[in-house]
Structure 1
Amino acid sequence: MLFRVLLPNGRTGLYRGSWEREESPLGWRVLVPEGTTGVVAGVSEGTAEGEVSFPDEAPLLGSAQISVVEEVAGDYFLPRGRVLFGLLPSVFLWKRRKLIRPALRETSSLDPRSREIVEYVRRRRQVSPEGLRRKFGSEVVRLLLRKGFLIEENEWVIPRVEVRYYRLKVPLSSALRKVRSQRRRRLILFLSGREGVSEEELLEWGFRREELRDLLRRGILELSHEPPRSLPGKEVEVSGGRLRRGRTLLWGNLQAVLGALKELCARNLSEGRSTLLIAPELKDAERAAQVLR
């Protein structure tokens, strides 16, 4: 079977693959030969560029979500792949990279320098070829690979997504007394009364990492990797937070999402910004309209 696949660079590729399920492959994630991730947008005929594999046990998107992506891409004359992967959390964008790992061989016959390199790789289990060659030299690494003491192979890497949340550690009045910078005071006021704000959101509002680090060092802020209790859904640590193009993905049950959406719209209005709401079904749009009135 030949699949039309949307790619992160905006291109649509044609790939062959094995599909034995009864359901449609539309919306399923695939790993493509170029070493990146794609999403199936349909089936077609023609000449395949290569073969894909399916890493998941369920589709990433449904037909309704694919239709929304196509409509938005058409309205703004953008490639569908760029729109899609601009909205998806980066945890779904797997990439293939080369890694070097040690072979299960005795190293007593090696010279001290070569044994040092093999032991270095063993302690770390796997290392990047570029880093190893930069540290020990290309020639000796090439020799150890050719003689089979080291093995170079490809591996799909899943991005580590870690959301950092900041909140005040001391009372507001105490925090304001400790700082004189107007920018830092504005940051403190922004965080006051909130259980936690992600680093991505703070950066988008114009605050700087050095300001966050300074207030952390002085004990005015504290850092957490746990999402605030007020955020919807348990999966918000992976899929919540600021994505590219300034969009926010709210993840959870509809009632909790609408509550967070109302707060987001109110904040946008207070800053003179608009909010575009796209719903997959009419009933969801009507329910959101009732909440936002």
Structure 2
Amino acid sequence: MSTLFPHLKVVFPNGRSEIYRLEEEIDFNPVGYRVLVPLKSSQRGATAIVVKKFLAKPSEATPRIDSFPDRFPVINPVALEVLKNNLLEYLTTLGESVFKLIPTWADWYQETFAVAVEKDPQGLPSGVLKIFAKLKKRGRIEYEKLKKEFDPKILRLLEEHRLIKIETRWVAPKVEEEFFKPATTDMEEVLRRIKRARAQRKEEVLKVISLFEELGRPLERDELLRLGISSPTLRYMEEKGLLKRVTYSLPPFRGELLKSPRGVYSPINPPSRWELRNLPLEERIETLLRMGEWVISQGGDFLVLVPELELIEEFYPRLSEVFGDRAVVYAETLLQKEKIKNWFKSAEDYGKIFITTPRWLFAPLKNPLAVYVEDEGHPSYKMFQSPYFNLKRLAFEYAKLVGAKLIVSSEPPSVEQFLISKTFEVRSKETKPQRVLLEGKNPFEDGILIQYLRREGKHLILTPKKGYSNLYCQRCGVLLECPRCEVYLAYNFNFVECPVCGFKAEKTECPRCGEGTKSFGYGIERVKETVKSLIPEGDFTFSTHPPQRGEFDSVAVLFADSILSIPDFRKGEEFYRYLIKAQNRTKKGGLFLLHTLQSHHHAVVSLLKGDSSLFYLKELEFRKLLEFPPFSRLYLVAINLEEENEQLALKIFNRLKEALKFTSAQVEFSKAPTFRLREKYRYQILVKLPLKLEDRELQKISKVLRGLKISYRRARVIPNPRSLV
């Protein structure tokens, strides 16, 4: 009888899976572990993740595992089950999914190097001596690079005569990283320093500044290169004092590891499913601390998902102050060595609180007893790149599979959360300010708004649109548009800017006729200028978004209807979310001012009456009528072309419609709401499926949609898109 040996099934980033064998039994469950393996297709090795262990007869044709580089799994083994349940709907593979949800530093690779054995060879031709001079200077050189510079036959000859040797090594990630951040945010100063640069360089510099404004965090060099910024531009910006290199980390805590909670807060054993609705930030953090006391007293782990770095910087110092090194943070802005240390620290066998952004929800926690989802309606819970997972949904499934308590905060609940809110215990806090509706095109004209703002106290003024205004050409009768997009340019004092693609220019004349233009509409800068000119001494805070914390005697939302101009089925929900967040910044008994031309919109009616159910019932009625989520599965096929070519887009549509002819799918074709964007012409196909589908039909539809992705390079298939824009 043949002896059975342990074998492992592993997956790779490209979606492939392979079987490898172990030479001997191991004393741990390897599922979720990272392994280094030789590739069958080449002499190089690669990183893979173990997804299954089984016993089988050994075969020389089955390659061996090289090594396990870690003490702990790199991904929680339960995550693999969650992902398997979602592969079909999200048109992906287990390998692709796993590697998108673990950090990039985990993907090691194998490299072959040439090393000189004889340091100072004698009697060799000068051309060959150049090879040794290069190796002596560098120590070792990647063999593939050396072959491009020198004759491979000579290199093989040197290897045969043992003058050089070829070594294969695993290349680990860097442990030090530098970030770039702007050295100045004064746009006038930026324009002054690049005044003599050529047009293309100016354009790239302004794009870099725009990226920092949009993302609101330091950026790595590689990230900037991936976003289309050239190395010479980065060097130029450093020389001009526009960029500086920094190392960035969240506030460290240098205390000893705490063996038990301090008991600063009385523990809360939360319900199995708990929603914290419209609670102020400080109250949410205090509740989190009390739940943390309970989780750690039970010897378990607490997974805390926070959608923004700004919020991590609010939560983490408070957690570390109470729980010491039991509070572990993982964020993209940490140094690489801190990322690696903290990722594997999450797997240590003691209770801890692991706080991170949604993408890293599958860190290898040993014993998760509770999962907290902060601001569950935030767009960051939807991945914007393949495989486009809804990470909130994965978190819910993960909590269920591991038997953890599930706590969510909402401000206000998303439409999806409202539908399932009966399955949660809800703790809510209602803000009931004095609400005043301001109608009319311009709230500054009749003086009523200014009368309210003259009152004593702190005032928050919100306007969603960035910049000063749009620009209008009276001669042509049009608003100025971005030359790359069908989007109105925002005027910002000395330049105009596209709010979508980041295009910037100093000229404010009409490109059609060359005439001067005038301001049209109100952005936050024009609102600020107007209010300050009328009330110079007031205590005002101006913003395009409601802040995370703070209470104000009055909150004024002006020109918010611009949110409703977005051609998207979620615009009503986004509008309502904005209004509720703004209202919640009002002090008890304070004043909430809303300027709108859409006073009959269900979001406005619901807010003014103080009855949230009015909004949700009307919004659900609208979604059901048009068969949009949450009443259907939706796939967006986004076709982006270099030139306007409706014939090609229709060809893709007709092929898809024919392939889905005998299924329950509805297939609709149109130009994208913003047809031209970033110099691409955009068409879209919507595929709507019933929520309840037999597995066989879903498999057929999934196969067709995946085939479409492969056949047409310009077509992206996005499952359950957050937006159609």
TM-score tier after normalising by the smaller chain length = 0.7 to 0.9
Q: 1:88 to 1:240 in 2, by over 3 A?
A: farther
In the other structure, the counterpart of 1:246 is: none
In 2, Cα distance between equivalents of 1:111 and 1:185: 52
Q: Equivalent of 1:9, from 14, 18, 21?
A: 14
What amino acid is aligned across from residue 237 of structure 1 in structure 2? L
Give the equivalent residue in structure 2 for 1:50.
Answer: 63
Contact 1:166-1:222 at 8 Å conserved across structures: yes
For residue 153 of structure 1, the aligned residue among 130, 147, 167 is 167
**Within-5 A mapping of 1:158-169:** 158-160=172-174, 165-169=179-183
Amino acid at match of 2:111: R
Shift, 1:106, TM fit? 6.0
Match of 1:245 in 2: none
CA distance in 2, matches of 1:54, 1:194: 37
Secondary structure of 1:37's partner? strand
Match of 1:196 among 211, 217, 239: 217
Indicate the residue corresponding to 2:240 in structure 1.
218
In structure 2, what is the equivalent of residue 143 of structure 1? 157
Post-superposition Cα deviations, 1:186-234, rounded to whole Å, max 9, x if no partner, equal 7546645987332577788xx6414666544432332324346667536
Q: Do the aligned residues in 2 keep the contact of 1:7 with 1:37 (CA within 8 Å)?
A: yes
TM-score of the aligned structures, taking structure 2 as reference length: 0.33
CA contact (8 A) 1:29 1:54 kept: yes
Report if aligned partners of 2:15, 2:93 keep a CA contact under 8 Å in 1. Answer: yes
Q: CA–CA distance in 2 between the matches of 1:285 and 1:198?
A: 35
Q: Give 5+ residue unaligned stretches, structure 2.
A: 1-5, 40-44, 196-201, 252-308, 313-328, 347-352, 359-371, 383-388, 414-725
> What amino acid does structure 1 have at the position aligned with 2:241?
G
Q: Secondary structure at the match of 1:222?
A: strand
Q: 1:275 and 1:86 mapped to 2: Cα distance?
A: 13
- Farther off after superposition, 162-171 or 131-140: 162-171
Name the larger-Rg structure.
Answer: 2
Q: Normalized per residue, which structure has more helix?
A: 1
C-alpha change, 1:262 and 1:215, in structure 2 (3 Å) is: farther
Measure, in 1, the Cα distance between the counterparts of 2:239 and 2:390.
36
Q: CA deviation at 1:4?
A: 1.2
Deviation at 1:125, TM superposition (A): 1.6
Q: Which residue of 1 aligns with 2:257?
A: none
Q: Establish whether residue 65 from structure 1 lines up as the match of residue 79 from structure 2.
A: yes
Looking at structure 2, the residues matched to 125 and 118 of structure 1 have their Cα atoms a distance apart, in angstroms, of 10
Match of 1:90 in 2: 104
Could you tell me which residue of structure 1 aligns to residue 300 of structure 2?
A: none
Alpha-carbon distance in 2 for matches of 1:281, 1:64 = 10
Instruction: Specify whether residues 287 and 142 from structure 1 end up closer, same or farther in structure 2 by C-alpha distance, changes over 3 A only.
Output: same
User: Which stretch of structure 1 is more off in the superposition, 213-222 or 29-38?
Assistant: 213-222
Match of 1:287 among 407, 416, 428: 407
One-letter code of the match for 1:27? G
User: Which residue is 1:209 aligned to?
Assistant: 229
- Residue 268 of structure 1: CA displacement? 8.6
Deviations 1:79-122 (A, max 9, x none): 21111112222221122222111115762354554344223213
**Structure whose residues are more often strand by fraction:** 2
Contact 1:168 1:221 in 2 (8 A): yes
What SS class does the counterpart of residue 64 from structure 1 fall into? helix
Please tell me whether residue 40 in structure 1 is matched to residue 50 in structure 2: yes
Say whether the 8 Å CA contact 2:373–2:409 is kept in structure 1: no
Say which SS state the counterpart of residue 15 (structure 1) adopts: strand
Q: Which amino acid aligns with 2:115?
A: R
Provide the rounded CA distance (Å) in 1 between the counterparts of 2:97 and 2:337. 17
Are residues 148 and 203 of structure 1, via their aligned partners in 2, closer, same or farther at CA, if it must alter by over 3 Å?
Answer: closer
Query: Which amino acid in structure 2 is aligned with residue 196 of structure 1?
Result: R
Note closer, same or farther for the CA distance 1:128–1:107 as it changes in structure 2 (3 Å cut): same
User: With CA pairs under 8 Å and 6+ residues apart, which has the higher RCO, 1 or 2?
Assistant: 1
Q: CA RMSD in A?
A: 4.4
- Is 1:237 the counterpart of 2:257? The answer is no
TM-score (norm 1): 0.73
Q: In the alignment, which residue of structure 1 is the partner of 2:590?
A: none
Take 2:122 and 2:83, find their aligned partners in 1: how far apart are those partners?
A: 59
* Structure 1 gap ranges (5+): 242-248
Determine if contact 2:178/2:245 at 8 Å carries over to the other structure: yes
Aligned 8 A contact 1:196 1:227 in 2: no
CA deviation vs aligned residue, 1:52-85 (integer Å, no higher than 9, x gap): 0222222212222222332332432422111111
Q: Which sits farther off after the overlay, 52-61 or 210-219? A: 210-219
Q: Aligned partner of 2:63: which letter?
A: G
Query: Is 2:105 the counterpart of 1:123?
Result: no
* Cα distance between partner residues in 2 of 1:51 and 1:136: 34
SS at match of 1:84: helix
1:17 positional shift:
0.9
The alignment partner of 2:141 has SS state of coil
- Identity across the alignment (%): 20
**In 1, Cα distance between equivalents of 2:19 and 2:409:** 40
The residue type paired with residue 135 of structure 1 is E
* Distance in 2 separating the partners of 1:187 and 1:161: 26
Instruction: Give, as a single letter, the amino acid of the residue that structure 1 aligns with 2:149.
Output: K
1:117–1:109 CA distance, 2 compared to 1 (3 A): same
User: 2:182–2:242: 8 Å Cα contact kept in structure 1?
Assistant: yes
Counterparts of 1:67 and 1:106, CA distance in 2: 58
Change in Cα spacing, 1:117 to 1:263, as seen in structure 2 (3 Å) is farther
Instruction: Assess, with a 3 A threshold, how the Cα gap between structure 1 residues 118 and 183 changes in structure 2: closer, same or farther.
Output: closer
Q: Distance in 2 between matches of 1:119 and 1:287?
A: 63
- Alignment partners' CA distance in 2, 1:240 and 1:173: 34
2: CA distance, partners of 1:98 / 1:186:
38
Number of positions where the alignment pairs a residue of Structure 1 with one of Structure 2: 281
